[in-house]
A = this chain, B = another copy of it.
Amino acid sequence: MSEATQTATLWLARIHVTLKPAVVDPQGDTILSALHQLHFNDVQGVRAGKYLEVTLRAADADAAAASVDAMCSTLLANPVIERYTFDVEVAPED
């Protein structure tokens, strides 16, 4: 990691990866069935997805977003059956 990178801003990306609407969601269907067994009978449907919080260093928000987009398309989401959305903000101080 270069010195410039170490002094770059720390960003927090919140990423949602969800199945495309046409794709069958066995995990969601299983949760729906379990909710009905627990007498939550007003539930109509459940779709299950992934939520990822990624912290990364980048010079600016555009660079951070470009990096996160590359991560999503190459590793975090399967473009055949999933889609992803994300937003990027300055990471809160711990």
Contacts and interface: CB of A to CB of B under 8 A. Distances in A.
A70 B31 contact: no
A71 B41 CA distance: 11
A47 to B, nearest CB: 4
Contacts of A57: 42, 44
Interface residues of A, number: 37
Given A1-B41, A5-B42, A74-B38, A50 B48 contact: yes
A90 interface: no
A43 B15 CA distance: 14
A42 B8 contact: yes
A49 B52 contact: yes
Nearest to A57: B42
Interface string A30-52: 01001100101111111111111
A32 to B, nearest CB: 8
B43 A56 contact: yes
